[in-house]
Amino acid sequence: MTEDIFVVGAGAWGVALAHAAAVGGCNVALCGRDQAVADIINQTHANPQFPDLASVDQNVRAQIGYAGIEGAQTILMVVPAQVTRQALSEIGVDRLAERNIVLCAKGLEQGTLKRQSEIVAELVPDAVPFSLSGPSFAIDVAQSKPTAVTLAGPSLAQAREIVDLLAGPTFRPYSSDDLIGVELAGALKNIYALGAGAVEGAGLGFSARSSLIARGFAEMGRLVEALGGQSVTLNGLAGLGDLTMSCTARESRNYEFGYRLGAGESVQQILDSGAKLAEGVFSSPVGFKLAHQNGVDVPIIGAVNALLDGKVTIDILVSKLMARPLRSE
């Protein structure tokens, strides 16, 4: 399907998705904030994030600002979750009305505790929100390596339209109508990735990490159902697929951040070294508040919060989790 797509955000993930959409046959406008990045893409078709590893399809046109966004029926928001509200406000309600907005960030908004689609519903009630999630690293998509994800929308029919638009030879979205479940799974897996990384960083062994992943999966299921999502969603790419990848790969920013926490560094020390703040650091306290409001027991999220606050070390937290009352699984 040939159509004009506007991608907001020219970071590694934004450039990768713009490339994938163009390979799939779309004309893509990529909006960033760095003129040098835009020039590299337009003049050389090199990928600024992975210059020696990946190129950018010729049907991607990079630019600064939102000029021309009115001509695109489908807009991919590829900015950090905590920046989504600001970006939507900058673009303007009139420009976004009745557009398909595909939300590609995996996170919950601090303060409001809202999912990404809830932010869209608040600011642009006439827009149609979708969520793109699943096991995917930017470098894999940028290099056109086989990648399967979940694309959720208000209905299966609406989701399928976006799936048909974005699908390409190596990029395979699967449609879903569980917008709540897909968004929550994408945000919550970041929290468990922090915990899994911390267990590995502390040298507690693969058995402990595997147990955390399994119990985290069960914990995530209880919270997703309590918040209106479908448990079956967690058995797919957006749930188990993304959780497994994020909790086992050092390439995951959340896992790497957690690894360094487990190895003894504080949040501030990690940031002072130049590392970017992982999205799970924002989503962890939000997830804990949502669980508390809905009466869901989330001991692992609670432990990750305590670790982020620097109150206890990972080995003590694991000991406390192991000392919880015995019960059936």
- For residue 172, name the pLDDT band (cuts at 50, 70, 90): very high
- By annotation, the residues acting in catalysis are 189
Q: Which of 135, 151, 177 is the last residue of a domain?
A: 177
- State whether 244 and 307 are in the same domain: yes
Q: What is the pLDDT of residue 292?
A: 97
Concatenated DSSP letters of 147-198: EEEEEE-SSHHHHHHHHHHH--SSEEEEEES-HHHHHHHHHHHHHHHHHHHH
For the segment 185-213, what is each residue's pLDDT rounded down to a tens digit? 999 999 999 999 999 999 999 999 999 99
Q: What is the pLDDT of residue 328?
A: 62
Q: What is the pLDDT of residue 314?
A: 82
For the segment 17-72, what is each residue's pLDDT rounded down to a tens digit? 999 999 999 999 999 999 999 999 999 999 999 999 999 999 999 999 999 999 99
- State whether 211 and 166 are in the same domain: no
Q: What is the pTM of this model?
A: 0.94
| Cβ proximity of 134 and 171 under 8 Å | no
Q: What is the pLDDT of residue 304?
A: 94
Round the average pLDDT of the chain to a whole number and report it. 94
- State whether 172 and 223 are in the same domain: no
Give the domain range for residue 134.
4-177
For the segment 281-298, what is each residue's pLDDT rounded down to a tens digit? 999 999 999 999 999 999
Q: What is the pLDDT of residue 275?
A: 86
**Per the domain annotation, does 308 fall within a domain?**
yes
Q: What is the pLDDT of residue 269?
A: 94
Percent of the chain residues past pLDDT 70, beyond the cut: 96
Q: Which of 126, 142, 177 is the last residue of a domain?
A: 177
- State whether 91 and 210 are in the same domain: no
How confident is the model over 314-322, as a mean pLDDT?
A: 75
Q: What is the pLDDT of residue 324?
A: 60
CA atoms within 13 A on the CB side of 292: 9
- State whether 288 and 211 are in the same domain: yes
Tell how many helices (H) and how many strands (E) occur in the chain: 15, 8
Q: What is the pLDDT of residue 1?
A: 46
- State whether 15 and 74 are in the same domain: yes
For the segment 210-252, what is each residue's pLDDT rounded down to a tens digit? 999 999 999 999 999 999 999 999 999 999 999 999 999 999 9
For the segment 82-109, what is each residue's pLDDT rounded down to a tens digit? 999 999 999 999 999 999 999 999 999 9
**Per the domain annotation, does 247 fall within a domain?**
yes
Question: Sign (positive/negative) of CA torsion 218, 180, 249, 310?
Answer: negative
- State whether 171 and 267 are in the same domain: no
Is 156 buried (19+), middle (13-18) or exposed (0-12) by CB count in 10 A? middle
- State whether 53 and 170 are in the same domain: yes
- State whether 129 and 217 are in the same domain: no
**Per the domain annotation, does 274 fall within a domain?**
yes
- State whether 147 and 196 are in the same domain: no
Q: What is the pLDDT of residue 315?
A: 79
8-17, 226-235, 310-319: least confidently modelled range: 310-319
**Per the domain annotation, does 327 fall within a domain?**
no
- For residue 318, name the pLDDT band (cuts at 50, 70, 90): confident
Q: What is the pLDDT of residue 276?
A: 82
- For residue 323, name the pLDDT band (cuts at 50, 70, 90): low
- State whether 152 and 230 are in the same domain: no
3 state DSSP class of 64 = strand
Q: What is the pLDDT of residue 326?
A: 52
How confident is the model over 147-156, as a mean pLDDT?
A: 98
CATH number at residue 297: 1.10.1040.10
For the segment 33-42, what is each residue's pLDDT rounded down to a tens digit? 999 999 999 9
How confident is the model over 151-172, as a mean pLDDT?
A: 96
| Angle subtended at Cα 68 by Cα 94 and Cα 183, rounded to the nearest 5 degrees | 65
How many whole angstroms separate alpha carbon 50 and alpha carbon 208?
34
3 state DSSP class of 8 = strand
* Pairing outcome for strands 4-8 and 60-64: unpaired
Q: Which of 177, 200, 228 is the last residue of a domain?
A: 177
**Per the domain annotation, does 328 fall within a domain?**
no
Res 312 pLDDT > 90: no
**Per the domain annotation, does 36 fall within a domain?**
yes
How confident is the model over 123-132, as a mean pLDDT?
A: 97
- State whether 86 and 224 are in the same domain: no
**Per the domain annotation, does 31 fall within a domain?**
yes
* Pairing outcome for strands 128-133 and 60-64: unpaired
Q: What is the pLDDT of residue 262?
A: 93
Structural domain tally of the chain?
A: 2
**Per the domain annotation, does 329 fall within a domain?**
no
